[in-house]
């Protein structure tokens, strides 16, 4: 069994995308973010390896609503199955 945890940033990112009314691929295209990386963060597959560049790009794309510090591993919680 893999250790999947979602950071506060991952949860906030999913909420941000849903609130936009866009699909994940469309949101990623609009903000020039890698869809695979976004999916992995949302799914809890990258909670220990989120780069500063990615976190900063999400912070910019969200207009500052999702702070880069929300992606720190210390904010991760077990992903519900």
pTM value?
Answer: 0.89
pLDDT in tens, 43-67: 998 788 889 999 999 999 999 999 9
Q: Model confidence at 1, in pLDDT bands (50, 70, 90)? A: very low
What span, in angstroms and rounded, lies between the C-alpha atoms of 3 and 60?
Answer: 29
- Domains, the chain, in order of start with CATH, read 5-76 (1.10.260.40)
With a CB cutoff of 8 Å and minimum separation 6, the contacts of 7 are 41, 47, 50, 70, 71, 72, 73, 75, 76
């Amino acid at each position: 069994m893999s250790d999947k945890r979602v950071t506060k940033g991952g949860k906030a990112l999913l909420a941000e995308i849903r609130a936009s009314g866009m699909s994940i691929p469309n949101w990623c295209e609009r903000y020039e973010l890698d869809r695979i990386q976004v999916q992995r963060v949302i799914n809890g597959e990258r909670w220990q390896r989120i780069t500063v560049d990615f976190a900063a790009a999400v912070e910019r794309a969200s207009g500052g609503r999702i702070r880069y510090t929300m992606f720190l591993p210390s904010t991760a919680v077990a992903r519900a199955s």
